[in-house]
Amino acid sequence: MASSTRTLLLASFGCLAAVGAYAASSKKANRADNKPEQVVVSVYKADKDLLFEIQSSEYKKGDANYLLAELKLHNGDCQIIVLVDDRVPLSAITEISEMAINAGFKDIRPFVLWHKTGRMAQIQFGPAIKSTLDPDKIARREKGK
């Protein structure tokens, strides 16, 4: 009887250890699932148009737009990291942002990448600031403060 009790005790301990190991591994998987996947989109100047590099492949605007929509369908919510070369026009920042918004992405983080130094800076968008060169309007604004 003592050997069957030991066997039962060892089997119970083994089941508890297996359940504990499963729970620990599932917690790690949940932490990884909570972290959003990042998709890096690089924007370069081509001969006439802009060139979009997504997942190590280069695309023109229409193809890149389609690929972003496909990524949204298959991967769900992702972080879109946009690296805009400093040699492209500023309109490229809004262009790729509009493409990502139209595809359904909400977390879009544009950066400017300086090709000579390799450094980059994030672009922070804020509310529009009213500006004028009219001295009368400037004086009225200063009085209002």
Query: Residues 111-121: pLDDT tens digits?
Result: 999 989 999 99
Residue 28 confidence class, pLDDT cut points 50, 70, 90: very low
Query: What does the buried/exposed string (b/e) look like for 47-67 if buried means 16 or more CB atoms within 10 Å of the residue's CB?
Result: eeebbbebeeeebeeeebbeb
Higher pLDDT, 12 or 119: 119
Q: What is the pLDDT of residue 34?
A: 60
Domain ranges in the chain are: 1-35, 37-122
Nearest to 98 by CA among 130, 48, 61, 127: 61
CATH pick for 37-122 out of 1.10.3470, 3.30.1560, 3.30.190, 3.30.420 = 3.30.420
Residue 2 confidence class, pLDDT cut points 50, 70, 90: low
Residue 27 confidence class, pLDDT cut points 50, 70, 90: very low
